[in-house]
Copies of this chain bind each other. A is one copy, B any other.
């Protein structure tokens, strides 16, 4: 790490860092697909360009995956089927979703919503935590691009092989 093969120590570039981030995402989604409980919804929070949604649906064929996004702008072939894209701000869309599907209805939540603004990210994570926690079933898994504050969940990041600090993994107590 940090060596270029010429014996020179080199810094991590933005290209290196993008590759690391995407690889960590993939490793973690693959891990989750192997470890998710057999029943329960899968939630993709933040569609973005649809890359991780596309990966999840490929690795979890037959599972119901609901996707939340404020302003959909994904690759045309990365949209969920009719009825599975929930458009709007999370604070407007998550509460009625919980009403509809019930507390503890989700086996797996993947949430990747970070913007460049760290202060905004922290506040968003704090306000989202109780909603996400309510959705997780006992033993349910949450993968996030940041830390969440969910008292009934354990941080199990160390059980996955993803480099520390890249991603956060929680499991709700059974």
* Chain A interface (Cβ < 8 Å from any Cβ of B): 4, 10-11, 13-16, 18-19, 22-23, 25-26, 29-30, 49-52, 54-55, 58-59, 75, 78
* Residues on B with beta carbons closer than 8 Å to the beta carbon of A50: 14
Q: Residue A55 contacts which of B16, B23, B25, B30 (CB distance < 8 angstroms)?
A: B16
* Residues on B with beta carbons closer than 8 Å to the beta carbon of A25: 15
Cα-based distance from A30 to B13 in the complex (angstroms)? 12
A3 smallest CB distance to B (angstroms): 12
Q: Is the CB of B18 within 8 A of A22?
A: yes
Q: Is the CB of B26 within 8 A of A19?
A: yes
Assuming the A-B contacts A4-B30, A19-B22, A19-B23, are A10 and B51 also in contact, with contact meaning beta carbons closer than 8 angstroms in the complex?
no
**5 contacts across the A-B interface (CB closer than 8 A):** A13-B55, A14-B78, A16-B26, A19-B23, A22-B22
Q: Is the CB of A51 within 8 A of B18?
A: yes
Q: Is the CB of B22 within 8 A of A54?
A: no
* Residues on B with beta carbons closer than 8 Å to the beta carbon of A23: 19
Q: Residue A22 contacts which of B15, B49, B58, B59 (CB distance < 8 angstroms)?
A: B15
Cα-based distance from A25 to B16 in the complex (angstroms)? 10
Assuming the A-B contacts A4-B30, A30-B4, are A58 and B10 also in contact, with contact meaning beta carbons closer than 8 angstroms in the complex?
yes
